[in-house]
Amino acid sequence: MRFYKTCIYCKNELKGRTDKKFCDPQCKSAYQYQQAKEKPERFYNIVDNQLKLNRKILKEYNKGGKVIVRSSMLTQEGFNPNFFTHYWKNTKGDVYLFVYEYGFLKRVEHGVHKYVLIKWQDYMVQK
């Protein structure tokens, strides 16, 4: 005796093995994608996505190696200074926060919040 069930994803009738759940690999893949989209985003993914966005923004604005940009321009793009990968302290005592190879330092000049953007250099290696 053969049991006929329906595909979990597309609801088409299944033929073949009795424990079959999907009619083809495309339905299985689409179902798994749909299930993953319904789950809340994991903490790791939230952090990773923000780091990637921060790096993209810093790279976009830092074309010259060292640039000063208003902080409002970066935050408007979605930049979040609370997400960084490491830091570097220069001889003056300024602490640059880095997102991979792109760094930033928050400054206030004439009441305007700005970021000094730099790119990682070989001499910045911490001992």
pLDDT in tens, 1-18: 456 689 999 999 998 888
What is the average per-residue pLDDT within 86-101?
A: 94
What pTM did the predictor assign? 0.69
Residue 7 CA: distances (Å) to CA of 32, 37, 70: 13, 20, 55
How far, CA to CA in Å, does 63 sit from each of 6, 57, 69, 78, 95?
Answer: 56, 11, 12, 19, 21
